[in-house]
Structures are given as C-alpha cells and as structure tokens.
A and B are shown apart, each in its own frame.
Chain A
C-alpha cells in the first residue's frame, strides 16, 4: 500500500506519528510529547490515543516493541510505512501552506504579505 493512500491523516494520528518520529515511546510518553509539541494546547485523552494506536497498529503504520524497561507499559515505534505516511502528510500540508502564501492568504516566509 502506498503512503498517499492513507492521506489525509486526522489531527490525532498526525500528532501521534510526529511524536514517534524521534524514537519509541509508551502511551503516556506520546501524550506528554504531544503536549510539549503543542505548548500544552492539546492534551489527548486516553480513549482517543488508544483508539488511534489500535488503528495504526492494525494498518501497519506503527508497531509494538518488546522491552524490559517497564513490564506495565507497551512501547510503540514507527514502521517504514508509517514514516513514509508521516512525510507524505507533512508534504501535503506544506503544499497547502505554500498555496495560501501564493494567494497572499498568509505572509511569505520573510514575513511580507
């Protein structure tokens, strides 16, 4: 399955993939990372997190990994497909932002509108 077939991603899924982009994390670690990357604006509730995780595991975008760090926790990491999907979504968003800039909806990167 090609990466673009998964697009567009939901807000929650995109943030989870980005949170896992720097390495493995457990569920609570993903929530903390999302809070940090959104300056505390997004506190993902556990139900949404695990609903998304179960779908991502099922579709092969993330995988569980065995670890001896903490038996109570399960760790997750991106798969190669998951990384491709994350990059494809970032590129899609970048194209949308560039489109907005070209139409002067947003100021350009230099700050000029």
Chain B
C-alpha cells in the first residue's frame, strides 16, 4: 500500500514532489501501519482509500496554473474515450459514401444497438472528464473564469475542441441524412 501511495505522488507537480513527496509518503506509511496495528485491516483499508482520494484532490489543487500530471492524466483518459467515436465516425462515413453498408447496419444485424452510445457517448464522456476537475476546482471560488483559464491546458482545449467537432459532424450528418430529406 505504501508503495502504491509513493507511486501516486507522481501526480503532483515536480517542485512539490521534490520538496514534500518523501516526507508525505513517510507520514502515510506511519499512519497506515499504526491503523493496521491499533485497529484492523478494514479500518486500514478505509484510511488508505481516503488518503488516496485526498492525494488525487490535492494533486489537482496543487500547482501554479501549469498543467500537472493529473491534468495530463485526465486529458489522456478523455482521448481514450474519443478514439472509438473517431474510428467509428471515419469508417462509417467512408463506407457509406462508397456505397457499402455502414457499420451501424452491421452492428444492428448482429442485434447490437450501441451506435448512438459510441457516436455521442464518447465525445460527451470526454467533455465530462475534462470539465469534471474544473467544476471541482471552482467550487467555492469567486474567480471562476480566472481559475478555469489557468487550469485549462493546451491539451485539454484541443481535446475538448475535438469532442465538440465530432459531435458537430454527427449532428450535421444526422440533419442532412434524416431531417432535410423528410422536408
């Protein structure tokens, strides 16, 4: 458990980690062993979970406006959600325009109706992942815009822009293919 906590310290900005990381890990180690000795494994497990949630939140709040490791982690997670949607969108549009059955038809024939979830769910999840830390950071702050601009890294903006673009393409595609012909 102490090794995992020590490893997670990588989420802090380097300056903080170099100055307080070793000491923070030592304190966790002492508290973990004391809880294990004085109480029981369940109490120690509860303490470890709380300490790690605390580490995540504090790593997010620590720093001077530059993107930290935790923010990069959120950006990476958002990209993972965007990848299936992007592949699906690209392949589907290409196949459709070549006159071949789209992936949607193939999936539907297999009895799977996940297309909508993949198409809009991916970008929406990516946006939510990127916005979640900002919402958390701005709770109790009166300087919402300033804090948001400080914490939005270039990567986050690119990924958020990509999410919006993919959603926009599909909404436009849906309008052109379904609503306009019906008119």
Contact = CB atoms under 8 A, between A and B. Distances in A.
Given A27-B27, A46-B28, A54 B51 contact: no
For the side of the interface on B, what is the size category? 20 to 34
Interface residues of A, number: 16
Given A46-B31, A47-B54, A47-B55, A54 B20 contact: yes
Interface of A: 27-28, 31, 43, 45-51, 53-54, 72-74
B59 interface: yes
A105 to B, nearest CB: 25
B100 interface: no
B95 interface: no
A54 B24 contact: no
Given A46-B51, A46-B54, A48-B54, A27 B24 contact: yes
B62 A31 contact: no
Nearest to B55: A47
9 contacts: A27-B27, A43-B31, A46-B24, A46-B28, A47-B55, A53-B20, A54-B20, A72-B23, A74-B23
B31 A31 contact: yes
The 6 closest A-B pairs by CB, nearest first: A47-B58, A45-B54, A47-B54, A47-B55, A46-B27, A51-B58
Interface string B42-59: 000001001100110111
Nearest to B16: A54
B36 interface: no
A50 B54 contact: no
Interface in B20-42: 20, 22-28, 30-31
B137 interface: no
B103 interface: no
Contacts of B50: 45
A47 B53 CA distance: 9
A47 B57 contact: yes
B31 A50 contact: no
A50 B20 contact: yes
Contacts of A48: 54, 58
B3 interface: no
B154 interface: no
